[in-house]
């Protein structure tokens, strides 16, 4: 069974509620879908992270990765991964994101050929559901009372953990977590994602305050300049002020290994659509297992969430943590585009039991979600503003 064609499709869906964070203001969801076709008529589905440059990542697949993969065995997943990775290393993290969708699609093909769900092929055959935490494009910057009402609505739906968006200022971030912990009580974990907003002294101050109010973790306080990010995150983790999470923007097991060597994290948050696909995500989980670091998969909208739930089911149980989930009531990339969306119930995400990823694409719906050019998150990439030097 040979790879005969690779197709890419960009889709967009506007947000019902504008999403404000320390990294910018979100107005829509984008997803880059990958379809790998074979000479036997079978196809697999995947998703590649758009890296906030969707057309560029699409071009990497169309112009660089796809020609390398054509003619290769669709069942030689590891061999294809090696060829794509070492044939595109000079493109850096963008190539790792791009090849993720191809890898996921090959796992989908293997599942269809064998009649097994991907989670079972990965070794997660006994895991039927994984615990979710509220994340993605919700719980952004807004007046405190509105934020608390939103947080309570998720707890009332059965979620056992939520993640608010930080980067609004040291005192404000601490206040938000304190108020949410007081409202929701001890049975609901409260995380906070800083979206790379802070300098070292600011991060130290906010980490101390968050530890005192019982934050479950503090995620990504620093910018992702690789060397500095790894050193600073490791340094903050060793300080032991509050549990530290990172990894959603750390690419491949090699990058993760460097992060661990610099002092590590308490929670690693890989995403199969970013880190090199399901093949690489499971390697990251095993690396974390060897370091006794908990694995809490990051996810994005739609098909990427499906891939990450399969991955989560196969994470070694002693380090498997929460899985990120977007509970927005209106998300066409999740609910309309997929024939079998992930099901949430009483705080858990059910692992699909059909062959492969357990879902297909509604091709007619795909045509109704045209890609919208421009920024998914406006203001993304601007210089960080410090309170003593306001814009």
Per-residue burial over 88-121, b if 16 or more Cβ lie within 10 Å, else e, is beebebbbbbbbbbbbbbbbbbbbbbeebbbbbb
- Sign (positive/negative) of CA torsion 122, 123, 126, 127? negative
User: Residue 235 and residue 126: Cα distance in Å, rounded?
Assistant: 37
- Give yes or no for a contact between 251 and 275, defined as CB atoms under 8 angstroms apart: yes
Three-state secondary structure call for residue 110:
helix
Res 249: pLDDT: 87
User: Residue 340 and residue 351: Cα distance in Å, rounded?
Assistant: 11
Residues in the chain, pLDDT under 70:
224-228, 380-391
User: Residue 136 and residue 284: Cα distance in Å, rounded?
Assistant: 21
- Segment 188-243, tens digit of pLDDT: 999 999 988 898 899 999 999 999 999 999 999 987 665 668 889 999 999 999 99
Positions of E strands within 138-262: 161-165, 189-193, 217-219, 244-246
- Give yes or no for a contact between 49 and 33, defined as CB atoms under 8 angstroms apart: no
Q: Please spell the DSSP secondary structure of 161-187, one letter per residue.
A: EEEEE--S-HHHHHHHHHHHHHHH-TT
Domains of the chain: 3-116+374-378 (3.30.390.10), 119-357 (3.20.20.120)
Beta bridge partners of 111: none
Match 């071009």 to its residue by tokens: 59
Res 280: pLDDT: 98
Q: Please, what is the Cα angle at 194 between 193 and 195, to 5 degrees?
A: 95
pTM, two decimals, is 0.96
- Distance from CA of residue 23 to its chain's centroid? 16
Match 């560029």 to its residue by tokens: 56
User: Residue 127 and residue 312: Cα distance in Å, rounded?
Assistant: 9
User: Residue 189 and residue 197: Cα distance in Å, rounded?
Assistant: 22
Res 172: pLDDT: 96
CB atoms within 10 A of CB 346: 10
- Give yes or no for a contact between 105 and 118, defined as CB atoms under 8 angstroms apart: no
């Amino acid at each position: 069974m040979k790879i005969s064609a690779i197709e890419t499709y960009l889709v967009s869906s506007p947000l019902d509620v504008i999403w404000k964070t320390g990294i910018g203001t979100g107005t829509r969801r984008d997803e880059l879908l990958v379809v790998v076709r074979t000479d036997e008529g079978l196809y697999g589905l995947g998703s590649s992270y758009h890296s906030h440059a969707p057309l560029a990542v699409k071009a990497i697949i169309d112009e660089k990765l796809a020609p390398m993969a054509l003619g290769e065995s669709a069942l030689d997943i590891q061999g294809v991964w090696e060829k794509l990775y070492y044939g595109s290393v000079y493109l850096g993290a963008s190539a790792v994101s791009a090849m993720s969708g191809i890898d996921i699609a090959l796992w989908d093909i293997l599942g269809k050929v064998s009649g097994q769900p991907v989670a079972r092929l990965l070794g997660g055959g006994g895991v039927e559901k994984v615990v979710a935490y509220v994340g993605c494009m919700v719980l952004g910057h807004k007046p405190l009372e509105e934020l608390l009402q939103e947080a309570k609505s998720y707890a009332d739906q059965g979620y056992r953990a939520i993640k608010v968006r930080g980067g609004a200022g040291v005192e404000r971030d601490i206040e938000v977590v304190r108020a949410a912990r007081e409202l929701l009580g001890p049975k609901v974990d409260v995380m906070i994602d800083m979206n790379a907003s802070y300098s070292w002294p600011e991060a130290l101050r906010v980490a101390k305050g968050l530890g005192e109010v019982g934050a479950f973790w503090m995620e990504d306080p620093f910018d992702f300049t690789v060397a500095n990010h790894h050193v600073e995150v490791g340094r903050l983790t060793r300080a032991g002020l509050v549990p530290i999470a990172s990894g959603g923007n750390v690419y491949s097991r090699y990058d993760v290994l460097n992060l661990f060597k610099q002092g590590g994290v308490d929670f690693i948050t890989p995403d199969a659509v970013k880190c090199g696909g399901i093949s690489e995500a499971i390697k990251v989980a095993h690396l974390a297992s060897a370091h006794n670091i908990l694995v809490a998969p990051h996810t994005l909208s739609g098909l990427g969430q499906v891939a990450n739930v399969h991955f989560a089911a196969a994470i070694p149980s002693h380090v498997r943590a929460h899985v990120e989930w977007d509970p927005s009531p209106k998300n066409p990339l999740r609910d309309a585009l997929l024939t079998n969306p992930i099901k949430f119930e009483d705080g858990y995400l059910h692992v699909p039991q059909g062959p492969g990823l357990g879902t297909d694409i509604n091709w007619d719906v795909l045509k109704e979600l045209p890609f919208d050019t421009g920024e998914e998150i406006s203001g993304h990439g601007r210089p960080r503003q410090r309170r003593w030097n306001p814009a």
